Amino acid sequence: NDIYVDASVPDDSKNGFAPYFAKRTLAAAAALATAKGDVIHAAPGIYDEGAMKPMESASATSNRVNLAAGVGLVGAGADVTVIEGRHATHDADKLGNGPDALRCVYCGTGAYVRGFTLRGGATNAKSASHDNTAGGGGIRGGAAIDCVVTNNVCGYRGGNGNGNAFIRCTV
């Protein structure tokens, strides 16, 4: 399936299966992309809404987008397509990690992100704990391709990324 998302549309009420029926949030688009080979296409914009937990752990850090295994997320280019995470606003450490932090992207096995700037993400954990809680404020797992990954933090195991591949990225 091809699923479309556009930060400039008013809400997530459309079905997401054509550019003119795009979802607003990455979380809503990712909820539709559940099969290996599904691709989410993002129009230019700043994606700073929505939050999802990884399927593996309800206690893990929330993410702007949680990609299922084998799903792709393709932006219009890192210069015009941004995923904005969030540093914690309460009970945070000095870096911004804490319970209401949001990582930019969590990738299941074989998932990838291409053509985005991933910025401002953080993690729940402030010290060593479950991998999905502590690793990578920008991206955890999968691959980042042709991305800019910047200004992300985590309390443990890689601020900008953890357990992922960076391919032609600026980190």
C-alpha span between 118 and 81 (Å, rounded): 9
Burial label for 77, CB within 10 Å (0-12, 13-18, 19+), is middle
Q: pTM here?
A: 0.92
C-alpha span between 156 and 149 (Å, rounded): 17
- The overall average pLDDT reported for the chain is 89
Tell me the per-residue pLDDT of 11-27, one tens digit each, with 9 for 90 and over.
Answer: 999 999 999 999 999 99
Tell me the per-residue pLDDT of 44-72, one tens digit each, with 9 for 90 and over.
Answer: 999 999 887 766 666 677 899 999 999 99
Question: Residue 127: pLDDT above 70?
Answer: no
Q: Which residues pair with 1 in a beta bridge?
A: none
Would you state the pLDDT for residue 56?
Answer: 60
Mean pLDDT in residue range 90-106: 86
Would you state the pLDDT for residue 129?
Answer: 57
Query: For the chain, what percent of residues have pLDDT higher than 90?
Result: 66
C-alpha span between 112 and 132 (Å, rounded): 17
Question: Residue 76: pLDDT above 60?
Answer: yes
